[in-house]
Amino acid sequence: MIVASPKPMEEIIDTVKDCKKLLILGCNECVTVCEAGGKKEVGVLASALRMYFAKQGRQIQIDERTLERQCDHEYLEEIRDIADTYDAILSLACGVGVQFTAEKYLATVVLPGVNTCFLGATEERGLWTERCQACGACVLAKTGGICPVSRCAKRVLNGPCGGSTNGKCEISKEVDCAWQLIVDRLTALGKMDEYEQIAPLKDWSTDRAGGPRKVVKEDVQS
Amino acid sequence: MQLRDKSEAGQFIVLAEMEPPKGVDVTDFTANAIRVKDQVDAFVVPEMNSAVMRMSSLGASLILQSKGLPTVMQVNCRDRNRLGLQADLLAAGAIGVQNVMAVTGEDPSFGDHHQASAVYDIDLIELLKAVRGMTQGKDMAGVDLAGAPSFYCGSTVNAGVKGKALQLEIDEMKRKIDAGAKFFITPPVFNMSDLSDFMEKAPRAEVKVLPTVLLLKSVGMARYIDRHSDHVSVGDALIKRIMSASDKGRECAQIAADTIQAAKNAGLDGVMIATLGWEHMLPQVLNLKPTEAQDVEQDDPNTSWGKHAGGK
In chain A, whose CA is at the least distance from the CA of B51? Answer: A209
Task: Name the residue range of residue A164's domain.
Answer: 134-202
* Contact residues, chain A, for B51 at CB < 8 Å: none
Residues A93 and A145 in one domain: no
Q: Do B115 and A205 touch (CB under 8 A)?
A: yes
Q: Do B107 and A208 touch (CB under 8 A)?
A: no
Residue A211 lies in a domain: no
* Contact residues, chain A, for B115 at CB < 8 Å: 201-205, 209
ipTM score above 0.90: no
Average pLDDT, stretch B133-148?
A: 98
Residues A108 and A74 in one domain: yes
Question: Best mutation site among A205, A206, A207, A213 for testing chain B: the one with the most B CBs within 10 Å?
Answer: A205
DSSP B135-160: HTTB-TTSPBPSS----EEEEE--TT
CA–centroid distance for A67 within its chain: 17
Question: For A204, how many CA atoms within 13 A lie in the half-sphere containing its CB?
Answer: 15
Architecture of domain B3-295: Alpha-Beta Barrel (3.20)
Tens digit of each residue's pLDDT (9 = 90 or more) over B17-56 = 999 999 999 999 999 999 999 999 999 999 999 999 999 9
Residues A145 and A55 in one domain: no
Radius of gyration of chain A from its Cα atoms, rounded to whole angstroms = 22
Q: Please tell me the distance in Å from B119's CA to the nearest CA on chain A.
A: 9
The band of B305, judged by pLDDT with boundaries at 50, 70 and 90, is: confident
Q: In the sheet that A61-67 helps form, which strands lie side by side, from edge to edge?
A: A61-67, A21-27, A88-91, A109-112
Q: Please tell me the distance in Å from A157's CA to the nearest CA on chain B.
A: 14
Residue A123 lies in a domain: no
Return the CATH number at A107.
Answer: 3.40.50
Is residue B309 predicted with pLDDT exceeding 90? no
What gap in Å lies between CA B55 and CA B59, rounded to an integer?
7
A87 in contact with chain B, both atoms CB, cutoff 8 A: no
Q: Please tell me the distance in Å from B52's CA to the nearest CA on chain A.
A: 15
Residues A107 and A157 in one domain: no
- Residue B155's pLDDT is 98
Residues A109 and A12 in one domain: yes
Amino acid found at B256: A
Torsion sign (Cα): A44, A46, A48, A50? negative
Task: Read off φ and ψ for residue B245, nearest 5 degrees.
Answer: -80, 145
A207 closest CB neighbour out of B107, B114, B117: B117
B109 closest CB neighbour out of A201, A202, A210: A210
Residues A91 and A6 in one domain: yes
Residues A144 and A101 in one domain: no
What gap in Å lies between CA B23 and CA B35, rounded to an integer?
21
- Residue B137's pLDDT is 98
Query: pLDDT by residue for chain A (222 residues), tens digit each?
Result: 999 999 999 999 999 999 999 999 999 999 999 999 999 999 999 999 999 999 999 999 999 999 999 999 999 999 999 999 999 999 999 999 999 999 999 999 999 999 999 999 999 999 999 999 999 999 999 999 999 999 999 999 999 998 999 999 999 999 999 999 999 999 999 999 989 889 999 999 999 777 889 999 999 998
Residue A188 lies in a domain: yes
Decide which of A60, A89, A118 is a domain's last residue.
A118
Task: Write down the domain spans for chain B.
Answer: 3-295
Residues A56 and A154 in one domain: no
Tens digit of each residue's pLDDT (9 = 90 or more) over B70-122 = 999 999 999 999 999 999 999 999 999 999 999 999 999 999 999 999 999 99
- Residue B295's pLDDT is 52
Decide which of A91, A118, A145 is a domain's last residue.
A118
Is residue B65 predicted with pLDDT exceeding 50? yes
How many residues would you count in chain A?
A: 222
Q: Please tell me the distance in Å from B80's CA to the nearest CA on chain A.
A: 14
Residue A150 lies in a domain: yes
Residues A33 and A109 in one domain: yes
Residues A13 and A52 in one domain: yes
Q: Do A210 and B116 touch (CB under 8 A)?
A: no
